[in-house]
Structure 1
Amino acid sequence: MNFDKELDARGLNCPLPILRSKKALGELTTGQVLKIVATDPGAIKDFQAFAKQTGNELLSSAEAGGEYTFFMKKK
């Protein structure tokens, strides 16, 4: 998937991946995509809730080898 910015949140625990994603999304323009890579298993539910609360679109989420990758589109 194409993305405009990547955020490495590996090794960070809740709420840091969300807080850093919020900051990174603030630097993007409407319609741009942020890729986030995290290792916190709670990130799956966190990013679903974050998308619902902020209106940003969670395009996809996947897990591989203990890493979680999310693609979020700025509203």
Structure 2
Amino acid sequence: MPEITVDARGMACPGPISALTRAYRNAQNGDIIIVLATDPGFKPDVQAWIEKTRNELVSLTEEGGVIKAVIKVTAKK
């Protein structure tokens, strides 16, 4: 299962979601996308993105001001 890491630390909204969307375009079903962000708005944004795209949010954590979203790509056609 390939992993794609997106370092969006320091980006303001909508930067982290835009970076996630770009990574998603190149991903395949089964891939894991890990997004690191510092914008507090990223948490609700990534949850909305998951609902919209119907992929799987494996985990969403925050430590030391860094939000880490682990997403499994499941909705590519």
1:25, CA displacement in angstroms?
Answer: 1.1
Asked if structure 2 preserves the Cα contact closer than 8 Å seen for 1:5 and 1:33, the reply is yes
Alignment correspondent of 2:56 = 57
* Partner Cα separation in structure 2 for residue 18 and residue 71 of structure 1: 13
Q: Percent same amino acid among aligned pairs?
A: 36
Once the two structures are TM-superposed, the CA of residue 62 in structure 1 deviates from its matched residue by 0.4
Q: CA deviation at 1:3?
A: 5.9
- 1:58 CA displacement: 1.0
Aligned residues: 74
Question: CA-to-partner distance for each residue in 1:37-59, whole Å, 9 max, x for gaps?
Answer: 00001111000000000111111
* CA shift for structure 1 position 16: 1.0
Q: CA deviation at 1:36?
A: 0.4
Spell out structure 1 runs of 4+ moving beyond 3 A.
Answer: none
Inter-CA distance 65–33: structure 2 relative to 1 (3 Å threshold): same
Match for residue 36 of structure 1?
35
Specify the alignment match of 1:48 in structure 2: 47
2:19 aligned with 1:20, yes or no?
yes
Alignment RMSD:
1.3
* TM-score normalised to structure 2 length: 0.90
Kindly tell me: are residues 57 and 16 of structure 1, through their superposed partners in 2, closer, same or farther at Cα, counting changes over 3 Å?
same
Runs of 5+ unmatched residues, structure 2: none
Give me the TM-score of the superposition, normalised by structure 1: 0.92
